[in-house]
Amino acid sequence: MSRRAAEPEPPENHERWIVSYADMVTLLWALFVVLYAISDSNPRKLLLVSQSIDRAFNVGILSGATSGSPIFDTGGGLAPGFDEIRSKNFAAISESLADFSAKKDFANKIQVKMDTDSVIISLSDNLLFDSGSADLRPGSQEVLLAVANQVRDLPNPLRIEGHTDNVPVNNPDFATNWELSSARASTVLRFLNEEAGIPAGRLFAAFFADTRPIASNDTAEGRAINRRADIVIVYPTQEDLERATGAQAPR
């Protein structure tokens, strides 16, 4: 009686490596997307990329319990948060313009402040304009060029503001302080665009007359502080981010 022949062993599967390879390619793709995102200092694009990655990985791999992305959050993440970007810009601009002011002996005539959604460069009106005039004084161009050098390479919009004190204007060219503050804001805006080379699409003007004082108008010193031109570096607010993403931004 013949013995039954042994069944041949199944051939070895040489394609199992494809699974591991596919996992590695997916992880590399995610890595390069993150690296590309953090190389871009535009906060709006950064938020969009972080949300897209969170959704692609089904929330939990890049998202913490507070629905924020640890990779993109301030405090240990790979990319700076919006507040950190604004703070770094504020520090750099403050230091540079303080050095410029010291060399030119412009004590307290150039001030840099930070708000929740902006960095504000305040220029005393007598640095730029004669009393009641909207024409740039000789030498004021150097001041505006120094400011332009600090903001030219930033991606942010720039709001150029005109402010006055509460003393009625005494000039036939301007009916009220509204017209004077408007003309001064327009003059600064045009210089930044036409002479300093800042794109017009980043610039817009606002004028407030005496409605936004930062000191008392009861003293000559206070009125001098209130007469100013502000160059405001605008950063996105929470509402801006929500509109840009078309959805509720992380809180």
pLDDT digits (tens, 9 = 90+) for 151-173: 999 999 999 999 999 999 988 89
Can you tell me which residue has the tokens 């931004």?
A: 249
Q: What is the mean pLDDT of the segment spanning 55-77?
A: 42
Position 241 scores a pLDDT of 65
pLDDT average, residue stretch 110-133: 91
Instruction: Average the pLDDT over 2-10 and give the result.
Output: 62
Higher model confidence: residue 39 or residue 131? Answer: 131
Model pLDDT for residues 77-112, shown as the tens digit of each residue: 434 567 888 899 999 999 999 999 999 998 889 999
* Residue range 83-237, CATH number: 3.30.1330.60
Looking at per-residue pLDDT, the higher value among 14 and 127 belongs to: 127
- The token duo for 176 is 């009220």
Which range, of 111-115, 140-144, 246-250, averages the lowest pLDDT?
246-250
pLDDT at position 76 is 43
Terminal CA-to-CA distance of the chain, rounded, Å? 81
Q: For residue 105, report the phi and psi dihedrals to the nearest 5 degrees.
A: 60, 45
Q: What share of the chain in percent tops pLDDT 70?
A: 68
Of 175, 200, 176, 172, the C-alpha closest to 186 is 200
Q: What residues does each domain of the chain span? A: 17-79, 83-237
Q: What is the rounded CA–CA span in Å between residue 150 and residue 121?
A: 10
- Dump pLDDT digits (tens) for 200-237: 999 999 999 999 999 999 998 888 889 999 999 998 87
- Rounded mean pLDDT of 48-64? 46
DSSP state string for 131-195: TT--SBPTTHHHHHHHHHHHHTT--S-EEEEEE--SSPP-BTTBSSHHHHHHHHHHHHHHHHHHT
Question: What's this model's pTM, rounded to 2 decimal places?
Answer: 0.66
Tokens standing for residue 101 = 């002011």
Helix (H) or strand (E) holding 125: helix 125-128
